[in-house]
Amino acid sequence: MNGVSVSTIWQALEVWQQQGWLRALDINFGRYLQRQLGDSEQSLQVAVLATLVSHKLGQGHPCLKLAELRRNPDAYLHILPEHLRLNPQALDQSLAAFLPDQIFAQQEPMQWLETLQQSVVCKGEQSPLVVVEDAIYLRRMWNYEQGISVDLQRRMTQQVPITAPQVAEHLTALFGPPQAPQVSWQRLACAMAVKSGFSMITGGPGTGKTYTVVRLLALLQALHTGAQPLRIRLAAPTGKAAARMTESIAAERANLPNNYQQLLNTGAETELTAVTLHRLLGSQPGTREFVHHRQHQLAIDVLIVDEASMIDIEMMAAMCAALPSKARLILLGDKDQLASVEAGAVLGQLCAGADAGGYQPATANWLEQATGEAIPANYIATTDTVAPYLQHTVMLRESRRFDAEKGIGKLAFEINQQQTTWLKSWLADSAQATQANPSLANIALLQPQTAVANEFYQFVKAGLQPLQQSLAERPEPSATDIEFAEWAARVLRQLGQFQLLTAVREGEWGMQGLNQMLESWFRPSTNSRERWYHGRPVMMTHNDYQLDLRNGDIGIALATRPDEPLRVAFPALGESTELPVRWLMPSRLNQVETVYAMTVHKSQGSEFVHTALVLPAHDSPILTKELLYTGVTRAREQFTLIAAQPKLALKATQRRVERYGGL
């Protein structure tokens, strides 16, 4: 065993668990496999690798890449030098100290693979691990990935009986004639989506995804030749994203030509109210199963899913299995946003290379015939070795909300491109940069050294002052129920004007710490010990289908008349309700948390007039360019970066999420 005992190895792993580097689940999985295999050196190698496969899954990776592990264990497993310095007792237990050198005795990755492949844990269709090239999967993750791949390949090769001239006629009616030399990527996206059974439309904020989708819905119905209209469903990963999709499409629908509006008013067969994916598939509490699956599929013809960057590999596999083989699947989203909290980065992997186009000449020719748009030569591939998914992807490239040379747009562009020249200058002296270039006035930097610093308090107080004023403008007790509901709706709208976002959950600059601090600042003094109080903003943390509330829905606790109990107001569902809000008793809300601050992950699918992104005091693997980009682009008009150490923003810009997988 090269001087390292089995007990020493597991003791070291337990230290990592105590430091929060590993989960108990990871270690228990490895120990379980070793008990099945015995105490040989080979068994120990397999058990440790299995522990690390589970660890990477917990970080969102469907597999463990052996070459990356061998090259730089600590960096690959996200155990930073800072963590080791903060925990001297664990310094000698660094993975780099003994994992490659002692456990694996300087073996190369291919030798590790041979060790695994000879083990019973990788043999047979029911084995717990799967080895593919230099990657190790848990069997469940491998099955999900294979199911997705097979399903999408089949949909991409479906022959759709639609000709380019048929498409061109409707696109002219929906978009007007082509405006050369400007390229309408929205028009190209619609043509791409009707060409096969699977397509993706990706683009940043303000690039026109909703504008495109509404016209795509009309185009699909116009091209349909069946006796009954297409059965179309809209979905999103979270309740917040589903609600925004519904609202956006309802607003844009009115801008269609009248005859196409009529196509979208064909009754219940076309469902234009978005739902969560869990609701669409029919989640079954306490299980991983859904009502709809391969043996009981959805009765739909087209499924359009927004905010697809948030879809994890397990949900994607379930969705593909539940969708009839002849149905179209269309994914919308920003490939540059954060990936899902759970394992996988489905949209990011499938859209890899979309910035460069990569269209084969045959694809480009069909799109040009169908749209009248000349695809620039630099987006056409010069070789046949391009990703097949790119032949089904259109990237919307022009933001109508942000200017890439100004303010929020420039900041987001720099971060996304991992460029730091301008960013360094702005962080070094943001006040001077803003004075020298007034177009940057809608972005700002705040640099308090602690969360309790006076400048941070004054900033938050100013940001929440309009909300506090709205709360104080409560109607008189004699006001009607409708007047109280309208007041609550104004408060909810004001709640969406200013939002603190955090990179992490814990710590002084984390979501939990900031929420506790802000509650102490803004909670009415008469309710110092009560969980519920007038003005408490809350977010749902889980779906509650009984209350028709979804993960991510935001409400606020309000006191109305003196003789009435405190109630929580949520936005009303749909346009047919009498009141603009729904009132719920706090006792019915068991899965909520205070939301003066929320994590960037939780903010996906939302936007706020003024967003302030709070970075932690110390570096962390979670600080990546995707997290910064997502935080910046949640702002509609104003963005503030709050960082005790602005240099962490530069470090984060140079670090990107690498979700390893085979898609």
Query: How many of the other CB atoms lie within 10 Å of CB of 18?
Result: 12
List the strands of the sheet with 592-594, edge to edge: 581-584, 567-571, 554-558, 537-540, 592-594
- Alpha-carbon gap, residue 427 to 420, rounded angstroms: 10
Closest CA to 310 of 289, 329, 330, 334: 334
Closest CA to 77 of 59, 93, 89: 59
Residue given tokens 């105590």 in the structure block = 18
* Chain length of the chain: 663
Q: What amino acid occupies position 116? A: L
Residue 562 annotated as lining a ligand binding site: no
Residue 207 annotated as lining a ligand binding site: yes
CB 202 within 8 Å of CB 335:
yes
245-250 contact pairs (CB < 8 A, 24+): 245/210, 245/274, 245/306, 245/307, 246/272, 246/273, 246/274, 248/210, 249/210, 249/213, 249/214, 249/217, 249/274, 250/575
Tell me the backbone φ, ψ of residue 359, rounded to 5 degrees.
-80, 135
CB 66 within 8 Å of CB 109:
yes
| H-helix or E-strand spanning residue 53 | helix 41-58
Q: How many helices (H) and strands (E) does the chain have?
A: 27, 19
Here the tokens at position 534 are 């007038």
CB 540 within 8 Å of CB 239:
yes
Closest CA to 207 of 460, 412, 399: 399
Closest CA to 138 of 264, 206, 54: 54
Terminal-residue alpha carbon distance, the chain: 37
What residues form DSSP beta bridges with 610? 498, 638
| H-helix or E-strand spanning residue 332 | strand 328-333
Residue 410 annotated as lining a ligand binding site: no
Q: What is the 3-state secondary structure (H, E, C) of 148-207?
A: HHHHHHHHHCCCCCCCHHHHHHHHHHHHCCCCCCCCCHHHHHHHHHCCCCEEEEEECCCC
Residue 203 annotated as lining a ligand binding site: yes
CB 312 within 8 Å of CB 661:
no
Closest CA to 49 of 140, 123, 136: 136
Residue 407 annotated as lining a ligand binding site: no
Residue given tokens 């228990």 in the structure block = 28
Sign of CA dihedral 163, 165, 167, 170: negative
CB 122 within 8 Å of CB 37:
no
Closest CA to 309 of 629, 662, 609, 651: 629
Which residues are within 8 A (CB) of 365 and not within 5 positions of it... i.e. 6 or more apart? none
Residue 208 annotated as lining a ligand binding site: yes
Closest CA to 39 of 80, 8, 78, 12: 8
**For residue 324, cis peptide bond before it (omega within 30 degrees of 0):** no
Residue given tokens 């995707």 in the structure block = 626
Residue 210 annotated as lining a ligand binding site: yes
Residue 204 annotated as lining a ligand binding site: yes
Closest CA to 202 of 429, 412, 357: 357
Residue ranges at the known binding site for ATP: 203-210
Q: Residues annotated in the binding site, as ranges?
A: 203-210
